[in-house]
Chains A and B, each alone.
Chain A
Amino acid sequence: MNYYDYEYTRPIEAKGGIRAASRRGEFGSNWWAKRWMQTLEQFRIGARLSRGRSYARRGQVLKIDIRNGLVEAQVQGSRKRPYDVEISVRTIGPNDWGRLRQALVEQPVIAASLLSGRMPENVEDAFEAVGLSMFPERRDDLETDCSCPDWSNPCKHIAAVYLLLGEEFDRDPFLIFRMRGMDREDLLGEEFRQSAQTIEGPPLAPEPLPDNPETFWTNPLPALAAADLGAATVPEMHAALPRQLGRFPFWQGEQDLVATLEKIYAAASQQAAGVYLNQAEP
């Protein structure tokens, strides 16, 4: 342990930073997240990542921005001003992307899986088929820089960012594409262009009021008498929908998202059941 290490092990407490979801053990659990970690191991970065662990878990990383092959982050160290971290990844050129797109489109299941947030295991084959590699192959495909005074590379700040990226890989398979210079929207081309979908649904076309008095005051009851309005069953598992969504990207809250939502959902079910049943109970 050298002097600097000792000096800088006590960072200033960061507020509202990104907290790693994993409390112990590995960062990232899907195969592609593990492949990312393997890549780092290959470059002999892996072993030194452990120094970033506590930073990543305590939320010292204040923000991470990723675009077109460049990762920019701010990490709260022991100095008042957070350190700037940059990781740049060698991008794949436009021509190569073009060939890859062709290969992917020919395998709609791969393309669709990607779009729905899953990374099919054979996606790397598609890269290889056109002579490319999905993950960086050489150490110098990755360039890193940190504004801290620590000479070692990766320093704990860079290491913490690497680790959080590992977790983000878990969630977003497109991260690796972005790091290699391709946005999700452009990757698969027109045929698999994702519409800007929100849970509110698409906007609807306007519909003018009818001027026929017969239909204007239609009694809806005959139509609704037989309509199934859905059961009002309290689900066995609370907050199933947010659970289905998986982790929130780079969660920075002090509170645990799912645990907090679970309480709200459970209480909402109770409330709503009261509204639904009203005084109809025996």
Chain B
Amino acid sequence: MIIIHAAQLAAQLTLWAEDSEQPSQSGHALDGRHPRSVDVRNLTDAVGVSLDEPTGAEMEATIWLPSRGNSPLPSEALAGPAPRSRAKPRIKPWRVPVISLSSTQAIDLLQRCQNGRVLTPGTALGPDVAYWRHVMLFAAGLTVRQQFLPNVIPHSDSTKAVWTPLYVGDDAHRLAELARAMPPSARAMTIASADRPPSTPPQAVLKEFISSLVNHIVRQDAQEGTREFDSAHDAWLHALTTTDGAIHAANAQLQQLRRQVAEWHRPIAVAANSPYRLCLRLEEPPEPDEDDPPAALREQDWYLRYLLQPHDDHSLLLPVNDVQEWLSPDFNPTEFLIASLAQAGSVCPPISDTLNKRSPSGAPLDAEQAHQFLTQQAAALQQAGFGVMLPSWWTRRGTKNRPTIRAQVRTPPMQGGANMTMASLIDLNVQVAMGDEVIEAEELFELADLKVPLVRFRGQWVEIDADEIRAAADFWRNRDQLTLREAVRIGLGADQQAEADNVSLATTGWLSELLESLQQKSQIRLLDTPAAFHGELRPYQQMGYSWLDFLRWWGLGACLADDMGLGKTIQTLAAILRDHQEGNEKPNLLVCPTSVINNWQRETQKFTPSLTVMPHHGPGRERGERFTQQAAKHQIVITSYGTMTRDRELLASVDWRSVTVDEAQNIKNPVTRQAQAARSLPADYRIALTGTPVENHVGDLWAIMQFLNPGLLGSQAEFKRRYFTPIQAKRDDEATARLQKATGPFILRRLKTDPTIIDDLPDKRETKQYCNLTREQVTLYEAVLRDVETRLEGAEGMARRGSILDTLVRLKQVCNHPRQLLGDNSAIAGRSGKLARLEELLDEIIPAGDRVLIFSQFAEMGAILQKHVQETYGIETPMLHGGVSRKNRDLMVDRFQNDPNGPQVFVLSLKAGGSGLNLPRANHVIHYDRWWNPAVENQATDRAFRIGQTKDVQVHKMICAGTLEDRIDLMIETKQQTADQVVGATSERWLTELSNTELREVLALSTKPED
């Protein structure tokens, strides 16, 4: 395992790495080199950087690390064991090979390491790399906002034109936060010849790197070559856009240029050096007396108070009256205050007027000015780096503080229920309202005629724009009908026009209930489990199924995004079954990844045996007319994403009752062919299932919503403008809330950790994970079978028994991984269907912060798993097998159980780890292969499930469909009662008692490889 680190050296991101497989002790031969360092070539491979220019000779630098005795301490457990010495750690220099990244390479690298997975197999990223990624985002944001100025700095050999980033207002605060978060390792590097450890403070290191990124971005289209100019000023402007930035002019001219630039910068330099920022607080007029005439409203009663706020403590607000007292050698508060007020005054003129006063503490505003401040200037001032504090009624204003159009819907009585669709028309009655009260339009217009934009109306501050409200009222008065779809869109705030016009929907009757149930899922009436359902729904599943049914009834699409293991499948099946029992005979289509087709098929047979299932995938699948006829005869057709895309037209020719997509993240990219294919399938309603938190990925939401409820969120461009860009780029909380309101009704996500869910869950849940074989596995499986046929021919007694046991082992190996059978250290990824399924499980388990035990009965398989998990996820993965010393075993167990940064994945061999250990921190147990003895398996499972376990435990048993694993599992299931007697204590011997014919049936392969 290689752990990549990034430190800053001479404004460049410089990479080095630790290799856990090297010994930690440094011998004399190393001569000051880091014992576990990685050479440049391996480092380059590990990072996957394409180096434009060859790095030339081996580059070396010195990294200063906490060390004990002769060894540097490893950065984390994954990097190797800590040295035995108990001496107090001291900082020592270690020479390491490094790659110095150009800014382009640095940006590329930091962009690539954004997801949990590692850059290349077998590598992990140090905390410093993650840190620099945040710094890059900050630098990019700063550049987008244009917070930088052209500057001149003297260099050893020339004077250079540079762009200097500015940290004013909030950015100064952000810079301080980033500096605080910097891991010391990020600034621990010096050039190889340095003789003392670096002591550049974090903030200086940070600024240097940000500056180099900003310069790189601004000079993206840099010109090459030098040109002659008559004035140093033109030479400077030109140099600002060249790669090296050298200014070509006479020395005297350059000196003058430096003076002039410094003078030019002066007003902003004052702000950039200030430890404070100016904060403006708008204070509203005092509550008027009962007897006061309303005319008093127009007087200058609003007040804009000036306060100073330290960058490093935003909770402090200091009045400006006594700033003189804070005078220090580096900071002149009066100068800063006046400079800031002058700057703010250019945005908000009333502030300028106070500059002539002796010691201004604030600016009085009239209602008009206060309104302008609230609606326009506040945002501009905030953008310019000032703190702005507005009255709370304004910041959390909704329609309450503005006149709104109220569309009173006259709900027609429901007739028999089903004949209302989203396209049905409903009647409207339009009124004007203020808050909750309907008011006469005349009364409103009277208020508007006061020509004051902010008035106190019945004790509430109200914003009034007469023209706007008149225009909107006219527009909506002329509408007397809406479709139900429009009403839902308005009700959920997804309709832009209505939103712009402040339209609120007043509803009664069933429409109210509909909207309420959409927004408050707890309002949904719980349904009984369908009669023909084989199994029991837990209370939260009952709720999920009722919710699916509720949306289905209205023809709306639903995204069930429950945590893994909460039973999305059975909730969906229950909903489909109920729909079928209500007399909807059309077939339902289910699209899922190939790896879970088997799972779906089995769960359907188990829970809803009355629904007939037709898998549609693989080379032998039905086509054309025959498919259409067959599909019509079944209730559920299951297909894979790949097949759906290939057979798009064929599938679109069927009139589906519903289309369900499992693992819906497969259609999150709307331009892919499978997303388009999914959208093109006609259906009465749709369901999307996913275990990942879709609601957090704004970009992905549109595609899933467009599949579920076409048009609800508008076009993609509209969506991008309204939600994506504001949320992604501006972190706009209001846009987030709007998006949540519009999409929330269609997404149900419950976590295992929800208190209500935990109570519902059994202590231990078992799921069988059915996997497919790859083509290679099928070939190997058949080869082993042919071999056993010949060997069983005529064999008897011990010889026969031996052959059978040997064959069992070899077939299990094939199911596990070809490499295990072949024992040849060949490649791991992409060759085993079971491993692919394991990855899918880990993809959900690891990001969720859960902990998992993986059991295998084979030590060699355990080693393969350990290697693969470490290399794919870049996380420490210990493995416990028979060869581990008692001391090390206790250490592993202790780290897994008690270390806050302990490993999330623990691989154990069934023999070494199956008994005696106590590992209740795990909440997943995966049996990668099966021991055909339930008692042994249960004992292993109990490692995690012990008294003291507060989380529930989920047990996954991995089974390759159509193989001996599948068949023996079935035998155990059916013989559960007598299993112990049949199977005996801890052996698989009972299998050797079967006749040749029985055995052939058990071992035979009845599956096709994945297509």
Q: Is the CB of A230 within 8 A of B145?
A: yes
Please, which residues of chain B bring their CB within 8 A of the CB of A210?
A: 66, 184
B339: min CB distance to chain A, Å: 4
Q: Chain B residues near A244 (CB, 8 Å)?
A: 267-268, 343, 346
| Contact in complex: A116, B144 (CB < 8 Å) | no
B277 contacts partner chain A, Cβ-Cβ < 8 Å: no
Whether B203 pairs with A204 at a CB distance below 8 angstroms is yes
Q: Is B170 in contact with chain A by the CB < 8 A criterion?
A: yes
Name the segment of A107-115, A140-148, A153-161 touching the other chain.
A107-115
Listed residue (A107, A201, A278) with the most chain B CB atoms within 10 angstroms of its CB:
A201
B542 at the binding interface (Cβ < 8 Å)? no
Would you call A152 an interface residue if the criterion is a C-beta within 8 Å of the partner chain's C-beta atoms? no
| Residues of the A chain whose Cβ atoms lie less than 8 Å from the Cβ of B126 | 217
- Contacts A216-B184, A276-B144; A209 near B199 (Cβ below 8 A): yes
Quick one: which of A192, A198, A277, A282 contacts B332, CB cutoff 8 A?
A192
Does A172 belong to the interface (CB within 8 Å)?
Answer: yes
A1 contacts which chain B residues (CB < 8 A)? Answer: none
**Residue of A221, A238, A255, A271 touching B217 (CB-CB under 8 A):** A271
Residue in contact with B134 in the complex, picked from A111, A217, A220, CB distance below 8 Å: A220
Enumerate A103-141 residues with CB–CB distance to B below 8 Å.
107-109, 111-113, 115-118, 120-122
- Chain A residues with Cβ under 8 A from B901's Cβ? 219
Residues in A with CB closer than 8 Å to B383 are 233, 235
**In the complex, A246 Cα to B171 Cα: how many Å?**
23
Check A277 against B728 for contact (C-beta < 8 Å): yes
**A232 engages B729 (CB within 8 Å):** yes
A218, CB-defined interface residue at 8 Å: yes
Distance of B567 from chain A, by nearest CB (Å): 30
Say if the beta carbon of A213 comes within 8 Å of chain B.
yes
Cα distance, A205 to B204, chains bound together (Å) = 9
Q: Are B217 and A272 in contact (CB under 8 A)?
A: yes
Chain A, residues 212-247, CB within 8 Å of chain B (1/0): the string is 110111111101100111111111001111101110
Residues of B with C-beta under 8 A to A206: 199-201
| B111 near A278: Cβ-Cβ < 8 Å | yes
Q: Is B937 an interface residue (CB 8 A)?
A: no
Q: Say yes or no: A216 contacts B185, CB within 8 Å.
A: yes
Whether the pair A217, B76 counts as a contact (CB closer than 8 A) is yes
Task: Check A275 for interface membership: any CB of B closer than 8 A.
Answer: yes
Taking the closest CB of chain A, its distance from the CB of B636, in whole angstroms, is 31
When the two chains form their complex, are residues B140 and A276 in contact, meaning their CB atoms are under 8 A apart?
yes
Asked if A201 meets B272 with Cβ closer than 8 Å, knowing A115-B338, A116-B335, the reply is yes
B358–A223 CB distance below 8 A? no
A281 vs B263: C-alpha distance when bound (angstroms) = 42
- Whether A115 and B146, one on each chain, are in contact in the complex, defined by CB atoms closer than 8 angstroms, is no
87-111 of chain B: CB within 8 A of chain A: 88-91, 107, 111
Compute how far the CA of A278 lies from the CA of B136 in the bound complex, rounded to whole angstroms: 12
Q: How far is the CA of A191 from the CA of B266 in the complex (A)?
A: 18
Measured between alpha carbons, how far is A180 from B147 in the docked complex, in Å? 37
Contact call B237/A260, Cβ cutoff below 8 A? yes
Question: Would B231 and A254 count as touching, CB distance under 8 A?
Answer: yes
The smallest beta-carbon distance between B397 and chain A, in angstroms, is: 21
Stretch at the interface among A31-39, A46-54, A262-270: A262-270
A223 touches B146 (CB 8 A): no
Check A15–B269 contact: CB distance below 8 A: no
Residues of B within 8 A of A245 (CB): 149, 264-265, 267-268
**Which chain B residues lie closer than 8 Å to A235 at the CB level?**
145-146, 383
Q: Which of B114, B187, B332, B383 has the most CB of A within 10 A?
A: B332
Bound together, the chains give a CA A256 to CA B921 distance in angstroms of 67
User: What 1/0 flags go to B346-368 for Cβ under 8 Å of A?
Assistant: 10000000011111100000000
Question: In the bound complex, how far is the Cα of B320 from the Cα of A108, in angstroms?
Answer: 13
Chain A nearest CB from B829 CB (Å) reads 23
Give residues of chain B (200-221) contacting chain A, Cβ–Cβ below 8 Å: 200-204, 207, 217-218, 220-221
Nearest Cβ on chain B to A75's Cβ, whole angstroms: 15
Find out whether the CB atom of B203 lies under 8 angstroms from the CB atom of A217: no
Does the CB pair A280–B728 fall under 8 Å?
yes
Contact A109/B140 with A116-B270, A231-B730, A244-B343 known, Cβ cut-off 8 Å: no
**How many Å lie between the Cα of A203 and that of B182 in the bound state?**
19
Assembled-state Cα–Cα distance A257/B130 (Å)? 39
Residue of B107, B218, B324, B670 with most partner-chain A CB within 10 A: B218
A88 within 8 A of B: no
Contact A199 B338 (CB under 8 A): no
Please state if B720 and A282 are interface contacts (CB–CB under 8 Å): yes
Main secondary structure of the interface of B (DSSP, over half): helix
With A118-B342, A207-B202, A249-B263: A271-B143 Cβ-Cβ less than 8 Å: yes
Q: Return A256 CB to nearest CB of chain B, in Å.
A: 10
* Residues of A with C-beta under 8 A to B217: 268, 271-272, 275
Flag whether B573 is at the interface (Cβ < 8 A): no
State in angstroms the CA–CA spacing of A116 and B140 once bound together. 30
With A211-B89, A219-B127, A229-B137 as contacts: A277 and B148 at CB distance below 8 Å: no
B188 within 8 A of partner (CB): yes
Closest to B668 in A: A282
Segment 187-201 of A: residues with Cβ below 8 Å from B: 191-195, 197-201
User: Shortest CB–CB separation between residue B16 and chain A, in angstroms?
Assistant: 14
Tell whether, in the assembled complex, residue B144 and residue A269 are in contact, meaning their CB atoms are under 8 Å apart: yes
Q: Choose the segment among B518-526, B696-704, B908-916, B975-983 that binds chain A (4+ C-beta atoms closer than 8 Å).
A: B696-704
Q: A224 contacts B263, CB within 8 Å?
A: no
Decide yes or no whether A92 CB sits under 8 A from chain B. no
Is the beta-carbon distance between B273 and A197 smaller than 8 angstroms?
yes
When distances are taken between beta carbons in the complex, the residues of chain A under 8 Å from B270 are 115-116, 197
B91 adjacent to A217 (CB under 8 Å):
no
Given known contacts A216-B65, A252-B232, A268-B143, A224 and B181 CB-to-CB distance under 8 angstroms: yes
Chain A residues within an 8 Å CB radius of B265: 198-199, 245
Task: Flag if B89 contacts A213 (CB, 8 Å).
Answer: yes
B324 & A108 in contact (Cβ 8 Å cutoff): yes
User: Chain A interface: which of B35-43, B172-180, B626-634, B818-826?
Assistant: B172-180
Write out the residue numbers on chain B whose beta carbons fall within 8 Å of the beta carbon of A252. 231-234
The complex places the Cα of A174 from the Cα of B330 at a distance, in Å, of 21
Q: Is B337 an interface residue (CB 8 A)?
A: yes
**A263 → B minimal CB distance (Å):** 10
B149 in contact with A242 (CB, 8 Å) = yes
Decide yes or no whether B724 CB sits under 8 A from chain A: yes
Cα-based distance from A104 to B359 in the complex (angstroms)? 14
Instruction: Answer yes or no: B470 CB below 8 A from chain A CBs.
Output: no
Given A219-B183, A232-B141, A276-B137; A116-B199 close (CB under 8 Å): no
Q: A250: CB under 8 A from chain B?
A: yes
Taking a contact as CB atoms under 8 Å apart, the answer to whether A223 and B234 are in contact is no
A268 to B214, CA, bound (A): 9
Q: In the assembled complex, which residues on chain B have CB atoms less than 8 Å from the CB atom of A191? A: 327
Whether the Cβ atoms of B141 and A230 lie closer than 8 Å is yes
CA of A118 to CA of B334, assembled, Å: 13
Task: Give the residue name and chain of the A residue nearest to B337 (CB).
Answer: A112
Beta-carbon contact of A116 and B729 below 8 Å? no
Task: Choose from B127, B266, B329 the contact partner of A217 (Cβ within 8 Å).
Answer: B127
For the complex formed, measure the closest distance between the CB of A137 and the CB atoms of chain B, giving whole angstroms.
26
Q: Is B26 an interface residue when CB atoms closer than 8 A count as contact?
A: no
**Contacts A227-B174, A234-B144 known; A273 to B134 CB distance under 8 Å?**
no
14 CB contacts below 8 A, A to B, read A16-B234, A17-B231, A112-B334, A112-B338, A116-B338, A195-B331, A200-B151, A207-B202, A213-B73, A224-B131, A254-B229, A265-B146, A268-B218, A275-B143
> 19 additional contacts, CB 8 Å, given A235-B146, A271-B217?
A17-B231, A108-B324, A116-B342, A199-B265, A200-B164, A212-B66, A221-B127, A223-B181, A224-B178, A228-B170, A230-B141, A235-B145, A235-B383, A248-B260, A251-B233, A253-B233, A268-B146, A271-B143, A282-B724
**Which A-B residue pairs are the 8 nearest by beta carbons?**
A16-B230, A16-B231, A15-B230, A272-B143, A116-B339, A253-B233, A252-B231, A206-B199
- Using a CB–CB cutoff of 8 Å, the interface residues on chain A facing chain B are 15-17, 107-109, 111-113, 115-118, 120-122, 172, 191-195, 197-213, 215-221, 223-224, 227-235, 238-242, 244-246, 248-255, 257, 260-261, 264-265, 267-269, 271-273, 275-278, 280-282
